[in-house]
Amino acid sequence: MNQTKQIPHNLPEDHAQKLAQIEAVIAKYEAKPSNLIMVLHAAQGIYGYLPYVVQKFVADKMIMAVSEVSGVVTFYSFFSTKPKGKHTILVCMGTACYVRGGKKLVEGLQKHLNVDVADTTEDGKFTLSIARCIGACGLAPALMVDDTVFKSVNPKRLESVLSKY
């Protein structure tokens, strides 16, 4: 009987190579819990996000329970268990933006894109996220799409902002 392990269809084609890169990172660290966050940062940098299969791989290589690894991944907001969209929208919810309508922008985007915060659109085009301050407080409310800052945005402008992508 053929014992070849099948890679689930939703994993990237270079899944094995990425795991090999993560394994090389782990080899540089001692397999102890205090190094886990550094390893997970590197793993997310390599893989793009941290699905269960990667969490399990890291746990096995670091001789830890996968529940410990999953606990850290879900605790810190900078770790993501889902793939990011092609473009990341960061809506500022810092004080200046919040009081000048940041919340309305988030609601407008949720409705327009049909996603929740931290989710990716079905076509994989946009991931919606929240930021604390993106340095454009004078022209709040502001948002960023990838590296571009859009200032004084109101819900009516959202469509024209998104149409650039």
Rounded to a whole number of angstroms, the minimum distance from the CB of residue 126 to ligand FES is 20
Q: Kindly report the number of other CB atoms within 10 A of residue 157's CB atom.
A: 14
Q: Which is nearer to ligand FES, 43 or 92 (CB)?
A: 92
The helix or strand, by DSSP H or E, that contains position 144, with its residue range, turns out to be strand 143-145
Q: Which is nearer to ligand FES, 12 or 135 (CB)?
A: 135
Q: Give me the residue whose beta carbon is nearest to ligand FES.
A: 94
Rounded to a whole number of angstroms, the minimum distance from the CB of residue 44 to ligand FES is 25
Rounded to a whole number of angstroms, the minimum distance from the CB of residue 90 to ligand FES is 10
User: Is 83:49 a contact under the CB 8 Å cutoff?
Assistant: yes
What is the spatial distance between Cα 163 and Cα 113, in angstroms, rounded to a whole number? 12
Q: Which is nearer to ligand FES, 66 or 161 (CB)?
A: 161
Q: Which is nearer to ligand FES, 41 or 104 (CB)?
A: 104
Interface residues with ligand FES (CB under 6 A)? 92, 94-97, 133-137, 140, 142
Angle at 128 between CA 123 and CA 131, to 5 degrees: 160
Q: Which of 96, 87, 84 is nearest to 132 (CA)?
A: 96
Rounded to a whole number of angstroms, the minimum distance from the CB of residue 105 to ligand FES is 11
Q: Which is nearer to ligand FES, 40 or 92 (CB)?
A: 92
Rounded to a whole number of angstroms, the minimum distance from the CB of residue 130 to ligand FES is 11
Looking only at Cα atoms, what is the longest distance across the chain?
67
In the sheet that holds 148-150, the strands lie side by side as: 126-131, 87-92, 143-145, 148-150
